[in-house]
Chains A and B, each alone.
Chain A
Amino acid sequence: MNQAAMQKDRLLFQGADWDFATLQRIHDACEEIAIGELGLDVYPNQIEVITAEQMLDAYSSTGMPLFYRHWSFGKHFAHHEAFYRRGMRDLAYEIVINSSPCISYLMEENTATMQTLVIAHAAFGHNHFFKNNYLFKLWTDAEGILDYLDFAKGYIARCEERYGETAVERTLDAAHALMSHGVHRYAGKTRVDLRQEEKRQQERRAHEEQMFNDLWRTVPAGRKRDASDVDLERRRAALGLPQDNLLYFLEKSSPRLHPWQREILRIVRHVAQYFHPQRQTKVMNEGTATYVHYQIMDRLHARGQISDGNYFEFLKSHTNVVFQPTFDDRRFSGFNPYALGFAMMQDIERIVTEPTDEDREWFPDIAGRGDPMQVLRGIWADYRDESFISQFLSPHLIRKWRLFQLYDDPQISEGILVSAIHDERGYKRVRRQLAREYDIGWTDPRIDIVDVDLAGDRRLLLQHRAPNDWVLEDSETRQVLQHLADLWGYDVMLQEIDGSERVAKEHVAHPREILQRRDSSS
């Protein structure tokens, strides 16, 4: 009986109910394991308890606690809400934000076990990944993001007051359409520092106001320089062409945008850049968090801090999370990043602790090293999905999941070719192809600005490199191009270049002059 009482004392909670003291206890217990035993390195945690409505809110504004106003977020909210109301979709248990302090939202409906799972998953797993992965270190600024969003929200609200809601909305619409092509894919010279952004903008504005002198308008202009004597080639280089960051190019070089419109493009670009690493690390990020929560829950249970019943509850939802239906299952909709990530992390653990001869041959660097956490921490810091899979997807896992590759060429009329399966000949091919599917440089259409006819009609020329006869979706491309033309202010042409360097298709858009016009209502 004494022992039973002691056992009870050790439990973090009983049953499903929790209060704030329980959350604190859970967090502290998780922290002890995460920092002390797993050796994780995390930002300070901030845990926020929210309602379902607030969760829907967070969903619709890309998960951020504050965001500028735009109709599309209202649309997403209405959409999610309709699904949720009809019970067609559950809400996520948590949302975690890459910021310092790292904010995790917990749903109030979660049971105590679920809160433990979520704290272990988000506040330690994701948090560690955000702080240590090289992509996040390079491209995001966790300390500055919330301040920057606050600035962005305020700035856009001020623009709406000054220039009218419609004008701002049109600019944002156009910028959002190009958002996926508004990121730098290769590291620049400087680290991002979002805190400086707001100051920079204010200084520039103050400078402009200081320097403004209406007299200059009245001074007769000098003789215009002849455009022909400017070295076009050099000017093209000065414009930084070819350029794959469309928003950056427009912000810097579009001749007809107002300064505030450039600033809005800059804001959208910064937001896109902030989310860019997350798009490249879905499998790793979720894999890390799932592996961490599994380790923590397992150890909590082993220490007697979680009762058997609650541990079963955890196992049930964990199993749901890492469920991977096979390709012929009705529920199949591609790879589940949680499942793939978790399976790979566990597989690495196996290779490090109990390697087979095959593992020693394939992974000489890590096989049998003995300390899985040390190896995994290194991997979490230095890889993204594409490189992670191409390095660490083992033949063992390929066999276990029975992966195979399908090659579907419309030219082959008989059907789809099975080009590789889980055998000696197929391992490398399957692995290479799967890694490729996670390379957003490969999966996203690649579009570059290649030329501007500055001396002539200023037409902007873009090219889409389309390997494998991939073409762009016609009507959507036309809409995006229209937005691009509006921002550029002159005609825009997009060429689709196929594998043999021929122009397969051309799209042209003419500007509508709606962005230059001031709002009539304001």
Chain B
Amino acid sequence: MHIIDRRLNPRGKSLENRQRFLRRAKDAVQQAVRRSLQSRSIRDVLDGGEVSLPIGGMDEPSFRRAEGGIRDNVLPGNRAFVEGDIIPRPPGQGAGRPKEAGQGDGEDGFRFVLTREEFLSVFLDDLELPELAKRRLSETEEMSPVRAGYSISGSPSNLSIDRTTRLAMMRRIALKRPKPEEIEALQRQIDEAENEETRLLLQAELKALTDRVRRIPYVDPLDVRYRRFENEPKPVAKAVMFCLMDVSGSMSEHMKDLAKRFYLLLYLFLSQRYEKVEIVFIRHTEKAEEVDEETFFYGQATGGTLVSSALVAMRSIIAARFDPTEWNIYAAQASDGDNSYRDEGPAGHLLKDEILPLCQYFAYIEVDEESGDSSVSNSPLWRLYEGIRSGSATLAMRKVCRKNEIFPVFHDLFQKRTAQTKAVP
């Protein structure tokens, strides 16, 4: 008999089958992820999670009998029946057949758990991101080499001279390699020696010493050490993300959904890049307030629209909690483009002179109904921002009607990063 311990076998034997299944069920999975995105908060987008799929489309058909027809069954546990009894059928059932084994579970839906990577990849797929951006978002953050001790192999440029000479010295001492002074002293003794006998004796001694010096090298390959580096994810710093949204009555559900995806995408980007990401939600009508995520997306508010109110709120929050020297400040603003005319001056001034200089990046999307045309816009806010954009690289803007149009607003953000990574050797 053999006993084999299989527990240490590599895990994930069924991974490939699983991927095939996910690919096959792509549409259904995407639907499910979309549904679960609506209910999940921005911070949780990075976790995988359970999704529920309708069973259709992935069934494995076989020839099976339908219900109906004459049924003849043997059952255990007769208590009171005698032959010839007629049992009325239970109401609601065509034929009073007992349920067969295995029926009943998994019929109405099919729940299973997606890993974080799978979830993210479906989400990004859904946004129709360019491949490159997709990779950047789902891969772990930038690596930077960090010193991590010494190794016995490496490139000559990483040779650690200190450590090598120290080890060489230890070895020389341990093996009693004669010092040059000793040899010199002996040489002097020989030169000064008077009688031939001692001179010969000393010369033999000297020979032994020089032989020893030859046998024990000054630096042996054994002593050589190299500086070792390990790649560590690079925690750049802290970042804060301001989500600004116009919640006046003109924003429809579809628009809010677009906005949510827009924030998600920025959050995803930031959380890859920064160790710590704070999110501040500011909603505004004619006055702005900081709220939690729930209220931000689902709370009701009515009123006019004053964009400057949100910018003022943002400025004061920055002043109070986020010192620009310590925090990288990002802002994402979503609006349907309405703004009151009297606000144009103050808002433009605020953005250009006070907010933008503090921000790494300010992304603005103008959301519209799905049927809208995303190529033209002449809303008051758009015209205002258009004017500011020409003078500043940190402001990105885009009009969005469908969800695959969200990504381009971040185009520069990803571009910039590519340029940065290229610059570092």
A and B are interacting partners = yes
Assess whether A92 is interfacial by the CB under 8 Å rule: no
* Contact indicator A445/B64 (Cβ below 8 Å): yes
Q: Which of A72, A324, A444, A471 contacts B60 (CB 8 A)?
A: A72
Assess whether A416 is interfacial by the CB under 8 Å rule: yes
The digit string for A155-193, where 1 denotes a CB below 8 A from any CB of B, is: 000000000010001000100111111000000000000
Query: Which residues of the partner chain B approach A422 to less than 8 Å between Cβ atoms?
Result: 78
CA distance A47 to B4 in the complex (A): 6
* Contact indicator A421/B81 (Cβ below 8 Å): yes
CA distance A301 to B110 in the complex (A): 45
Query: Which residues of the partner chain A approach B17 to less than 8 Å between Cβ atoms?
Result: 60-61, 69-71, 73-74, 77
The digit string for B16-34, where 1 denotes a CB below 8 A from any CB of A, is: 1111111111000000000
Q: Size range of the interface on B?
A: 35 or more
The digit string for A42-70, where 1 denotes a CB below 8 A from any CB of B, is: 00111111110110110011000000011
The digit string for A308-323, where 1 denotes a CB below 8 A from any CB of B, is: 0000000000000000
Is chain A's binding surface mostly helix, strand, loop or mixed? mixed
CB nearest to A478 among chain B residues: B61
- Interface 9-mer from A131-139, A194-202, A326-334, A349-357: A326-334
Interface centre among B76, B77, B94 (most CB of A within 10 A): B76
Query: Which residues of the partner chain A approach B16 to less than 8 Å between Cβ atoms?
Result: 69, 74
* Contact indicator A471/B73 (Cβ below 8 Å): no
Assess whether B291 is interfacial by the CB under 8 Å rule: no
Assess whether A409 is interfacial by the CB under 8 Å rule: yes
Q: A54-B7, A79-B106, A180-B63 are contacts. A405–B23 as well, Cβ < 8 Å?
A: no
CA distance A425 to B83 in the complex (A): 9
How many whole Å from B104's CB to the nearest CB in chain A? 9
- Interface 9-mer from A221-229, A373-381, A426-434: A426-434
Query: Which residues of the partner chain B approach A402 to less than 8 Å between Cβ atoms?
Result: 76-79
* Contact indicator A471/B69 (Cβ below 8 Å): yes
Q: Which of A72, A180, A416 contacts B89 (CB 8 A)?
A: A416
Query: Which residues of the partner chain A approach B64 to less than 8 Å between Cβ atoms?
Result: 445, 472-473, 476-477
* Contact indicator A20/B5 (Cβ below 8 Å): yes
Q: Which of B60, B86, B110, B111 contacts A418 (CB 8 A)?
A: B86
Query: Which residues of the partner chain A approach B63 to less than 8 Å between Cβ atoms?
Result: 180-181, 444-445, 447, 464, 472, 476-477, 480
* Contact indicator B19/A108 (Cβ below 8 Å): no
Query: Which 10 A-B residue pairings sit nearest by Cβ, starting from the closest?
Result: A326-B77, A74-B21, A74-B17, A479-B61, A78-B112, A327-B75, A71-B20, A468-B70, A469-B69, A404-B78
23 contacts between A and B (CB under 8 A): A46-B1, A47-B3, A72-B21, A75-B21, A77-B21, A79-B106, A82-B112, A85-B113, A181-B63, A324-B76, A326-B76, A326-B77, A332-B98, A333-B100, A401-B76, A402-B76, A403-B75, A406-B87, A417-B86, A418-B83, A418-B87, A471-B68, A472-B66
B interface residue numbers (CB < 8 A to A): 1-7, 9, 11, 13-14, 16-25, 50, 58-66, 68-79, 81-89, 94-102, 105-106, 110-113
Apart from the given pairs A48-B3, A415-B89, A470-B68, 12 other A-B contacts in the complex at a CB distance below 8 Å:
A54-B7, A54-B13, A69-B17, A73-B14, A82-B112, A169-B20, A180-B63, A181-B63, A408-B72, A415-B86, A433-B74, A476-B63
